[in-house]
Amino acid sequence: MVIELFSVESAKAILAIPIPYRLRQDQLIWVLDPKGIFLIKSVQNVSFKSPISANLQSSHWKKLWRSKLPKRLRIGVGALPTKVNLNRRFDHIDPTCIFCNNAEESPIHLFFGCPFTKALWASACWGLCIKTSSLVTDEDIIKLILIPPNSPLPSHDQWTISLNMALIIDEIWRTRNLV
């Protein structure tokens, strides 16, 4: 039956799986980590091997991992389950933004392009107005947070801008999931 349902290569791989003599409970493992544990950092390590992320400077990633910013910043490796990302994996997902219903819910649109989130940024972060045309990839969001635009704060307090931006992104994601 396996040979009838699968390609020759897949059938060989399936039939090579050893069948245990006694029942054991299934276990979830992350095969891209030697210990089988899923960590956001392991996703980042795998993403550096892809041609898409090869041009991202590692200093940005080092700064991100050292920071105390929320884990929502996995945006940069395309691991955030926005509707566009889910639609790539599952055909039946409607990719329309849950807030405005006018555009696809990509990370750039959701966090900076949607009228709802634009209003939030303008009111919460020194009147920040980001031109989404300057954000081409998801990694650009990470760069924006780690190296934020100039603000009226003194230079020794500039780190609070990155923290505030990360917290706003976290709140946008939380609100999106509640809606």
Element (H, E) at 28: none
Are 146 and 136 contacting, i.e. CB atoms less than 8 angstroms apart? no
Q: Is the pLDDT of residue 120 over 70?
A: yes
Structure confidence by residue, pLDDT tens digits, 3-60: 888 888 888 988 998 887 888 787 777 777 788 887 767 766 665 555 444 444 455 5
Are 43 and 79 contacting, i.e. CB atoms less than 8 angstroms apart? yes
Q: What number is the average pLDDT over the span 108-116?
A: 93
Sign of the alpha-carbon torsion through 98, 101, 104, 110: negative
Per-domain residue ranges of the chain: 2-178
CA distance 172 to 166: 10
Q: What number is the average pLDDT over the span 134-157?
A: 79
Q: Is the pLDDT of residue 68 over 70?
A: no
Query: Quick one: pLDDT at residue 85?
Result: 87
Full-model pTM:
0.61
Are 105 and 96 contacting, i.e. CB atoms less than 8 angstroms apart? yes
Are 76 and 142 contacting, i.e. CB atoms less than 8 angstroms apart? yes
Query: Quick one: pLDDT at residue 113?
Result: 93
